[in-house]
């Protein structure tokens, strides 16, 4: 049985390892990865990671309603791992709303 899984922030350290584990545990699953490839985390001129054919990568922001609606409609996930997060404690002080929107809410209503 094939399961559709959505992983926000899936190109990061934890997300990429989660993907490896999921594909080992459930080789028939289809995984959609949403990641903004933020330069602070992925470096300048970051390129999408190369995953297997079982992975659909979408570069975008979890706080973007249209992207979230589109990926959820396409993936129709049975399971969502919300790993997308803003990083940097200094910036979190100046951008409280943005940090809460991404790290906590993550556009949950679309899912």
Total structural domains within the chain: 1
Read off the pLDDT band of 107 (50, 70, 90). Answer: low
74 pLDDT more than 90: yes
Task: State the Cα–Cα distance between residues 87 and 48, nearest whole angstrom.
Answer: 19
CA–CA distance, 36 with 59 (Å, rounded to integer):
5
Q: Is the pLDDT assigned to residue 78 strictly greater than 60?
A: yes
Beta strand segments in the chain, E: 4-8, 30-35, 55-59, 79-82
User: Over 90: is that where the pLDDT of 105 sits?
Assistant: no
* CA separation for the pair 12, 105 (Å, rounded): 19
pLDDT digits (tens, 9 = 90+) for 3-43: 899 999 888 888 989 999 999 998 889 999 999 887 666 66
Residue 110: pLDDT over 60: no
Q: What is the DSSP letter of 62?
A: T
102 pLDDT more than 70: no
Q: Which of these, 88, 83, 107, 101, lies nearest to 12 by C-alpha position?
A: 83
The domain spanning residue 80 has which CATH number? 3.40.50.720
pLDDT band per the 50, 70, 90 thresholds, residue 2: confident
pLDDT at 89: 61
Residue-range definition of the domain harbouring residue 87: 4-110
């Amino acid at each position: 049985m094939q399961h559709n899984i959505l992983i926000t922030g899936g190109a990061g350290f934890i997300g990429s390892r989660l993907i490896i584990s999921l594909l080992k545990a459930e080789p028939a699953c289809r995984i959609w990865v949403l990641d903004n490839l933020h330069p602070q985390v992925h470096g300048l001129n970051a390129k999408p990671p190369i995953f297997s054919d079982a992975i659909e990568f979408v570069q975008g922001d979890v706080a973007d309603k249209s992207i979230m609606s589109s990926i959820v409609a396409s993936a129709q996930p049975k399971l969502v791992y919300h790993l997308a997060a803003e990083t940097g404690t200094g910036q979190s002080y100046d951008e409280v709303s943005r940090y809460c929107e991404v790290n906590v809410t993550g556009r949950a209503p679309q899912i």
